[in-house]
Structure 1
């Protein structure tokens, strides 16, 4: 482990794949995305002076100047990826990407400011001279504002390109209903995704929830929409070596996140990070620096959502044969046809995204935060358990009804915090 970082050492982090340095393109790849940015040195110095002078609570706040630079750079990467795609995406989706990019930038800055603040004092607890401290933290600054950020920039370009493509794939699915996994464009491709090359499956196939081009660092594979016949799902694709890299296991074309919540900046954040980021981003939304996603749906989009909801009801039927678990809830959960219908019909600010989550309910329930239970409003003899999740950055609550000690059913989902009033036995 690297003593300077709460993350594994650079050679251990596997930031971009199994056998590559985490902060550089693969050695055999001559076609790395050309990073084009410069972190403003004056901004960096001013921010460092704020941290050194104790003008920032690094645990509960996010340094404004550092965030502005990171957000600016990753936003430029997003714009570049969208331009490279050539796809036309809605204003709503672009706002969604901007919102999540702002949050990711804040998590990155929170990581950075805590990394360097931890080196302010010597072994005797005495504050180091500014120049001495600056010299000590320079390797961290190089990683956070150059090499790591360069990898994140390149990845954001690729992932935004793919996200825009995905939006187009869904738009054209009535004409070209399938997707084909195309080989890497690298001059010397690795073996990461080779077993998936040539796979053809429907756009809405659950396979794409588990594997996609871009779910490994510096992946140069791509997807093409097609009406070619569907092929068999490759065997062995769920082996550990074939799983997505942390932070790339989500589909940015669905949730608008260029980096997922499993990224180390989020999943291995310092204490206080989530609260600090949530407060900071809320302030940015209020002042208009970041525009929160607004759910405005056109008549055409409503028709598409209606049709998609019918498809989801059919696809979700297989879930009735499965059981679901959560580490903090010691009972198996099931879902019935009624539960599927209730989930899909339930009004929600992020209606379409909420419905798509149903197909990934196994992972959703595993990752959900169990809050406790109260009496079901329809039947006081039934316990209603609540599980908290996030959809497009906003909290929602899954309702699980305990009909008897041996039967728990996923019943519905709500985005209204009023549902929390039912809790009589919160978890500790």
Structure 2
């Protein structure tokens, strides 16, 4: 599925062009500009929630959907602050203000990472996580007929070794394993879980899932268990991000 329509592509291009120019000319961006970027991230990932966790699903839980969107609002705020901070760091090259041409080249590369490649990955990850929450609700509804879940890896050249080790593992739906190992278990993870009445596995591979992906979204209400963008920010950046998301939640949710 394509992340952006042509109109959205044009909007993002104009937004980033203005954003980069403003930061270079004024050595900062306005709060209004920062809110526009945050809102763009949020709107794209909110669409992904609705694609993965459909409002048309018969067991749709609006409270769960709202929880997902609060989580991606926080994620989006920290992403927006991280982008700004990284962009600011490009202003100084060799101890002095970089010329526009040199800054613009590096800024464009950063834009491609944050707002194209990574946002595309985050969009698809959000779809997959939200859809797994939907599947989990169906698993719980059918647990009297199929009380166990089976982990299925794709098993090809791209399969991660820890995911390969979990392939074929069968455990009860209420086993603690599923609180931390429900797919997707990494960026772009293609594993899935199916419901079954097969016998429970005798052994569980002693492999921990990555902390950022140790999540069962239907139980946690989170799309992103951890926020990688938050880790790279100082106290001021964290404060700025929290203020951004707090104002948004008060006005929109």
Pair member with larger Rg: 1
CA distance in 1, matches of 2:121, 2:100: 29
Q: Is the 8 A contact 2:82 2:232 kept in 1?
A: no
* 1:247 aligned counterpart, secondary structure: helix
CA distance in 2, matches of 1:55, 1:221: 43
The corresponding residue for 1:254 is 219
The corresponding residue for 1:36 is 3
Matches within 5 A, 1:25-104: 34-37=1-4, 39=9, 40-52=12-24, 53-56=26-29, 63-83=34-54, 88-104=59-75
Offset of residue 123 of structure 1:
2.9
Q: Render the CA deviation track for 1:61-104: whole Å, top value 9, x for unaligned.
A: 99112112111221222222224995632110110011101110
Structure 1, gaps ≥5 residues long = 1-33, 292-428
Offset of residue 235 of structure 1:
3.0
Offset of residue 145 of structure 1:
0.9
Q: Residue 164 of structure 2: which of 187, 191, 194 is its match?
A: 194
The corresponding residue for 1:214 is 184
CA distance in 2, matches of 1:232, 1:57: 59
Per residue, is there more helix in 1 or in 2? 2
Q: Render the CA deviation track for 1:139-162: whole Å, top value 9, x for unaligned.
A: 111111111112112211211111
CA distance in 1, matches of 2:185, 2:160: 14
Structure of greater relative contact order (alpha carbons < 8 Å, 6+ residues apart): 2
Offset of residue 254 of structure 1:
1.7
CA distance in 2, matches of 1:164, 1:216: 19
Matches within 5 A, 1:301-340: none
Ranges of 4+ aligned residues in structure 1 off by more than 6 Å? none
Matches within 5 A, 1:233-382: 233-238=203-208, 243-244=209-210, 247-261=212-226, 263-288=227-252, 291=253
The corresponding residue for 2:193 is 223
Give me the TM-score of the superposition, normalised by structure 1: 0.52
Offset of residue 174 of structure 1:
4.3
Q: Is the 8 A contact 1:71 1:105 kept in 2?
A: yes
Q: Render the CA deviation track for 1:374-400: whole Å, top value 9, x for unaligned.
A: xxxxxxxxxxxxxxxxxxxxxxxxxxx
Measured at CA, do residues 35 and 272 of structure 1 come closer, stay the same or move farther in structure 2, by a change above 3 Å?
farther
Q: Is the 8 A contact 2:53 2:65 kept in 1?
A: no
The corresponding residue for 2:110 is 140
Structure 2, gaps ≥5 residues long = none
CA distance in 1, matches of 2:105, 2:20: 12
